[in-house]
Amino acid sequence: MSRFGFRLEPRSYLPKWLPWAVPVGSFLAALLVGAIVLFATGQNALSVYGRILDRAFLSEGAFTGTLISATPLLFTGLCAAVAFRIGFFNIGGEGQFVMGAIFGSGIALKLGVDAPGIVSVAAMVVFGAVGGGLWGLIPGILKARFRTNEIITSLMLNYVAAVIATYLIFDSNSFWRELTGSGAVFPKGKILPTGSWWPNLDFGSIVVPFGFVLGMVIAAWLYVLQRKTRFGFEMRVVGGAPTTARYAGMKPARIVVAVAALSGALAGIGGAADIGNFRHVLDPKGLQQSGFGYAGIVVAALARLNPVAVVFVAVLLGGITNAGYALRGPDFPSGLVGVLQGLILFCTLGGEVLARYRITRSVRTPMNASALESA
């Protein structure tokens, strides 16, 4: 241990500006590394970044597009944030998102064209939450009841959910599938009745999708839940010290199950929002390709599991994603979105450690350098 690599030494003094400087510095560092990657592969980093910035935030209508891309990330980000906070590593946001989409689109189709818009939209939110919640409940119960590792179970359920969506559209004559017109030849889902399409709220220059507004409200609610309520207090104890929670008369298993369901429900609403605001049809391929569930974990990690911060991080990453869609083509390198997201996460993870610790080489020579060996 001592002769290899580096040692961490806790900083005794943490300046006030540090919590802000770390994310900003990490973001800039990620851009720098990204620029090196771009440069090394013969791309002009400045122009690529310029185009991303333009298409994400600056150009006409870009911000609306960014908010649309940010909405699913917001929900899956909240999904991961709330679960990770209590040490329940739900990486099944992907599958819970898909189940929410299936349930949400199902109820909209069921209610049909005659239902008032507000009823359809409300029903989609509820059913999306139920679909995702049920899917999140499975790893939650398995963990609480059998101590089964939730990472793997929630992960496996992502694939099962994807398979179910594929089955409904491509492999059966299900209620979701369009069986008339071109649908009889090429398998595709039924378009949702326009009444159930989620509204966009117009704030002059920016159009905000309803799903995003809903997500912001939920984020604020989660913040209050975590910081101000008895349940939130219990969540904090369970997250850091499950044995202590039990000792203090709490029921960690129940809390885990409840949070697992809540977490799944959040992703499920995201799935419903994605269909209500954007796709208006159950599209298994599109859902699978977008990978919102995994990206949500990135969002949550960058937001340090704070639900309010999730909103801002979702907009940032949504911007990059949106620009990636808009710029897709021969002169824009594919895969750059993932590279940037990954780099931002790497740099933030590393940056947080560097902020809290000093890294020192573990050296053999001077006697007094060995104080850090004690750590």
Partner 1 sequence: MSINDNLFVIIMASAIFYGTPLVFASLGELLAERSGVLNLGVEGMMLLGAVAAAWVSTNVDGPAIVVLPLAIVAAMIAAGLGASIHAFLTITLRVNQIISGLALTIFAGAAGLSSYLAGIWQLGQTPVKQQFGKIDVLGLSGVPVVGPILFHQTLLTYLSWVLVIAASFYLFRTRAGLHLRAVGESPQTADSVGISVSRYRYFHVIFGGSFAGIAGACFSLMIVPTWVDGMTAGQGWIALALVIFGFWRPDLTLLGAYLFGALSSLGLTLQARGIHISTALLSALPYVMTIVVLVIVSNTASRKQLGAPAALGKPYEREER
Partner 2 sequence: MKAATAPAVAAFHVTKKFPGVIANEDVTFDVRVGEVHALLGENGAGKTTLSNILTGLYRPDEGWMEVAGIAVDFQSPRDAIHAGIGMVHQHFRLIPTFSVAENIALGTGHDPVGGRFDLKMIEERVVEISESFDLPVDPRAKIWQLSVGEQQRVEIIKVLYRDARVLIFDEPTAVLSPLESERLGATLQTMARSGRSIVFISHKLGEVASIADRVTVLRHGRSVQTTSENDVSALASLMVGRDVESVTRSSRAIAESSSRVGAVVLEIENLHAVGDRGLKALEGVSLDVRSGEIVGVAGVAGNGQRELVEILAGLRRAGSGSIRVEGESLENGSTRHPIRLGVSYVPQDRMGTGLAPDLTIAENMALKNFRRPPVARPPFIRQSVIDAQGRDLMEQFDVRAPSETTPTRRLSGGNVQKVLLAREMSGDPRVLVIASPSQGLDVGAVATVHRLLIDAAESGVGVLLVSEDLDEVLALSNRIAVMYEGRILDTFDRADADAQRIGLLMGGQLDVSA
In the list 74, 245, 259, 272, the residue contacting partner 2 (rule: CB under 8 A) is 245
For 35-41, the CB contacts below 8 A with 24+ separation are 37/339, 38/333, 38/336, 41/333
Give me the residues paired with residue 329 across strands: 332
Closest CA to 81 of 241, 275, 237, 218: 218
Sign of CA dihedral 154, 350, 347, 220: positive
- Is 175 a residue that touches partner 1 (CB under 8 A)? no
The answer to whether the CB of 42 falls within 8 A of the CB of 50 is no
Closest CA to 272 of 129, 69, 104, 73: 104
What's the rounded Cα separation, in Å, for the pair 17 and 30? 20
Residue 248's binding partner, choosing from partner 2, partner 1, none, with beta-carbon cut-off 5 to 8 A by kind? Answer: partner 2
What's the rounded Cα separation, in Å, for the pair 109 and 101? 12
- Is 4 a residue that touches partner 1 (CB under 8 A)? yes
In the list 17, 146, 186, 203, the residue contacting partner 1 (rule: CB under 8 A) is 146
Provide the 8-state DSSP code for 55.
Answer: I
Residue 275 CA, distance from chain mean position:
16
- Is 244 a residue that touches partner 2 (CB under 8 A)? yes
- Is 370 a residue that touches partner 1 (CB under 8 A)? no
Closer by beta carbon to partner 1, 189 or else 291: 291
Closer by beta carbon to partner 2, 118 or else 359: 359
Closest CA to 26 of 366, 355, 253, 351: 351
Torsion angle (degrees, nearest 10) of CA 29, 32, 37, 39: -170
Residue 89's binding partner, choosing from partner 2, partner 1, none, with beta-carbon cut-off 5 to 8 A by kind? Answer: partner 1
- Among 67-75, 225-233, 260-268, 318-326, which window interacts with partner 2 (CB under 8 A)? 225-233
Residues 6+ apart with CB under 8 A from 92: 135, 136, 139, 153, 154, 155, 157, 158, 264, 267, 293
Closest distance to partner 1 from the beta carbon of 160 (Å): 5
- Is 160 a residue that touches partner 2 (CB under 8 A)? no
Closest distance to partner 2 from the beta carbon of 371 (Å): 7
- Is 367 a residue that touches partner 2 (CB under 8 A)? yes
Give the Å distances, CA to CA, from 243 to 47, 154, 240, 252. Answer: 53, 24, 9, 8
Closer by beta carbon to partner 2, 67 or else 82: 82
Site for partner 1 in 85-124 (CB under 8 A): 89, 91
In the list 15, 20, 42, 367, the residue contacting partner 1 (rule: CB under 8 A) is 42
- Is 174 a residue that touches partner 1 (CB under 8 A)? no
Site for partner 2 in 246-285 (CB under 8 A): 246-250
Interface with partner 2: number of residues (CB under 8 A): 30
Secondary structure of residue 178 in the 3-state scheme: coil
Closest distance to partner 2 from the beta carbon of 233 (Å): 5
Sign of CA dihedral 160, 165, 167, 171: negative
Taking residues 11 to 50 in sequence order and writing x for each that binds partner 2 by CB under 8 A, - otherwise, the string is: -x--------------------------------------
Tokens of 51: 């185009």
- Is 233 a residue that touches partner 2 (CB under 8 A)? yes
Closer by beta carbon to partner 2, 227 or else 285: 227
In the list 26, 64, 71, 341, the residue contacting partner 1 (rule: CB under 8 A) is 341
Q: Which residues bind partner 1 (CB under 8 A)?
A: 1, 3-6, 8, 37, 41-42, 89, 91, 142, 146-149, 151-153, 155-157, 159-160, 163-164, 166-167, 170-172, 291, 294-295, 297-298, 301, 333-339, 341-343, 345-346, 349-350, 352-354, 373-375
For partner 2, the binding residues (CB under 8 A) are 1-3, 10, 12, 228-233, 236-237, 240-241, 243-250, 364, 367-368, 370-371, 373-374
